[in-house]
Amino acid sequence: MHDKILEAIAISKYFQDPVSVQVLKDVSFDLYKGEFVSVIGKSGCGKSTLLYVLSTMDTDFTGDLLIDGVSTKGFSEANLAKIRNEKIGFVFQFHYLLNEFSVLDNVMLPGLKLGKFSNAEVKERAYEKLKILGIEKEALKKANQLSGGQKQRVAIARALINDPLIIMGDEPTGNLDKKNSEIVFEIFENLAKDHKQSLLIVTHDNDFAERTHRIIEMEDGRVIKS
């Protein structure tokens, strides 16, 4: 039951510009399957930086990162991209949808990239995910025709398309009003409860964090409570 899906081992990171500053100091923690975890801390404490390291997009760090029991050290850029594609889903503060495409296409793209399913299957799965998020009616609209809350839900559907090991969120409710924040939180909660989806959400909203399974609190690049 308690499968370790992500393991951070003594991760340290420095910003070199303009002077060398250590932003992450020996961060170590584990994440287990089905956990809904939030990372909180004051602005500038390094929580976003940590998320980018954990997401494999930022490879400039010391220590080790194990995803699904495999160390990502020394992986090529293309291999890391593959890991992100297959095992990690992202939700950012800003939705980052491609305006050239329809909502459905936006959700389908990472699935098409994975190439595990046929086009028709990916389409069916995308509809399924949109249905979970209650926006299947908007599937054929262009991304820029949706409201902010709807866009963020499309972004969550996109994160779900490849049934990732974990969904990472960087302030996913940061740009949303109270009502939409609530909707997004409920979606996350349901995903964790009904679909046993692991989630790692960076937030500065303490109310949001309080309601998650586990809180990782950071201060000055260190984990002070996990």
Partner 1 sequence: MKYQLIFKLSKALLLARVKQTSVAAIGVTFSIMMFIALLSFMTGLNDLLDGLVVNRTPHVRLYNELKPALTQPVDKLKLKSYHFIHSVKPKASKTELYNVASISTELSRDPRVLGISPRITTPIFYNIGNTNLSGVINGLDVVKESELFSFSDYVVEGKELDLKNVPNSIILGKGVAEKMLVTVGDVISITTPNGEQFSLKVVGFFQSGLLDLDKVQSYASVSTTQKLIGASNDYITDLQVKLKNILLAPALAKEYAKRFELDAIDIQTANSQFETGSSVRTIISYAVGITLLIVAGFGIYNILNMMIYEKMDSIAIMKATGFSGRDVRYVFITIALSIGLVGGLLGLLFGYGLSALIDQIPFNTMALPTIKTYPINYSFKFYLIGAIFSVITTYLAGYFPSRKASRIDPVVIIRGK
Strand order of the sheet with strand 214-219?
88-91, 166-170, 198-202, 36-41, 214-219, 222-225
Binding flag, residue 90, partner 1 (CB under 8 A): yes
**For partner 1, the closer CB: 9 or 112:** 112
Binding flag, residue 86, partner 1 (CB under 8 A): yes
Pairing of strands 62-67, 70-71: antiparallel
CB 96 to partner 1: min, Å: 4
Binding mask of the shown chain, residues 101 to 140, with x at each position contacting partner 1 by CB under 8 A: x-------xx-xxxx-------------------------
Binding flag, residue 13, partner 1 (CB under 8 A): no
Binding flag, residue 48, partner 1 (CB under 8 A): yes
Question: For 25-65, what is the HEC assignment?
Answer: EEEEEEEECCCEEEEEECCCCCHHHHHHHHCCCCCCCEEEE
Pairing of strands 214-219, 36-41: parallel
Report residue 78: phi and psi, to 5°.
Answer: -70, -40
CB 2 to partner 1: min, Å: 27
Q: Which of 34, 93, 141, 204 binds partner 1 (CB under 8 A)?
A: 93
Q: For residues 143 and 99, what is the distance between their CA atoms, to the nearest angstrom?
A: 5
**Which residues form the interface with partner 1 (CB under 8 A)?**
48, 52, 55, 57-58, 77-78, 81-82, 84-86, 90, 92-94, 96-101, 109-110, 112-115, 158, 162, 170
